[in-house]
Amino acid sequence: MSEHSGDGAMDAEVRFFGIVTASVTHELNNINSTIEQIAGLLGDDLARAANGQPPAPDRLHDIQARLVNQAQRATATIERLNRFAHTTDEPRGHLELRGLLENLVDLCRRLAGLHRVELVCDFPPDELWISCQPFLLQRVVFHCLSRLWLEAPSGEVILLTLERNTREVFISICGPPPPPGAKGAHDALLDDMVAALPGSVRRSTRDGRPTIVIGLPDVLAPGSFRIPPNEENGS
Amino acid sequence: MSQSKVLLVDDEEELVSTLTDRLRWRNLDADAATSGYAALELLQQQNYDIVVIDLMMPGLDGLDLRRIIRRDYPGVEVLLITGHGADLEGQEFDEDIVGDVLLKPFDINELVARIREKLGNDGRAGV
């Protein structure tokens, strides 16, 4: 079944959502396991205290700080997943591109790491608002990232950058040099997804490194639109 | 009677550090490594009785590390830990791996029991 249309496209979207969600639940499970063991460490100290060896105050402060750190880590992870999930609320809308991409890259770091690849973002500091399809755009970027990290040698870096002019913004995804003899297959799925955004896709090479540049129109000028309510309350 | 020597390998630094502390308090001589490569370096330097390995790690993953240990350190026992049984689906591995897996989160006493079970069957001292 083709991923380009109909049920195939729906299945591909669900798979994408499942991959990201599974990775996050794995991360949360690790955090939960860590919290349980740190709490167990406190239990061990309490058992020693019952035998006349109370823990030093610094020790208790250290355990408390470690628990808080893990809880904050869980909160940040849940917030990232929540932001991602809410990009399905509306098929199209105003979105802050830099924040969307940073969130997606954060969600993908663990997956890239399992393929021994590091993701690096080099974005300008200013917010960048566009009108686009947020979930499809994330699918496009994830598609590019995952193809690069699947083919990348161990220890490599994938670099994402953002550039803009008055009318368009360009997302550049620069991957590591392909293995010797590798022949890049035409990526018709990417072309179709970008066309549906709508946008443009250009493939080039920078310093021998394959680079995909996705062009998106509909850059929104500051003050030209109202930020949608669900962006303000962070739900 | 010497203590059993345990190497814990997990890229979750806080988790592996805490587990090491807790095992030491339970009379196991435990060390920690946060990557498969770091574990191999320690294995070259010291004699471990058992290596407890997280399945899903960046770099050298748990299954690859297990294969290397079984090949290069055949006397060392291996126990895998993982967050989800689904991590094993689609993987190619020996049929005996089922008995070598412990799911997270686990109670520390369950970990100790599994370690003792794997070492005790070989009659090693210190367990």
Q: Which of A160 and B84 is assigned the larger pLDDT?
A: A160
pLDDT at A105: 97
Query: Does the beta carbon of B110 lie under 8 angstroms from any beta carbon of chain A?
Result: no
The whole-model pTM stands at 0.86
The span from the first CA to the last CA of chain A, in angstroms, equals 35
Q: Are strands A156-164 and A117-122 parallel, antiparallel or unpaired?
A: parallel
Q: B51-101, pLDDT tens digit by residue?
A: 999 998 888 889 999 999 999 999 999 999 998 765 555 555 555 666 688
Residues A18-31: what's their mean pLDDT? 94
Rounded distance, CA A168 to CA A209, Å?
24
Instruction: Residue A167: count other Cβ atoms within 10 Å of its Cβ.
Output: 10
**A147 Cβ contact partners less than 8 Å away, ≥ 6 residues apart:** A187
Query: Does the beta carbon of A77 lie under 8 angstroms from any beta carbon of chain B?
Result: no
Residues A216-224: what's their mean pLDDT? 75
Q: A160 has which bridge partners?
A: A121, A173
* Predicted ipTM of the assembly: 0.87
Examine the pLDDT at B122 and tell me if it is beyond 70. no
pLDDT at A11: 83
The span from the first CA to the last CA of chain B, in angstroms, equals 9
Query: What amino acid occupies position A93?
Result: G
pLDDT at A179: 73
Secondary structure (3-state) at A121: strand
Which B residues in the span 19-78 are in contact with A, Cβ-Cβ below 8 Å?
A: 19, 21-22, 25, 56-59, 61
In the block, residue with structure tokens 């090949």:
B71
All residues of chain A having their beta carbon less than 8 Å from the beta carbon of residue B58 are: 110, 113-114, 116
Q: A163 has which bridge partners?
A: A170
- A84, A77, A64: which is closest to A135 by C-alpha? A84
Query: Does the beta carbon of B84 lie under 8 angstroms from any beta carbon of chain A?
Result: yes
Is the alpha carbon torsion for A6, A8, A9, A15 positive or negative? positive
Q: Which of B96 and B20 is assigned the larger pLDDT?
A: B20
DSSP classification of residue A180: T
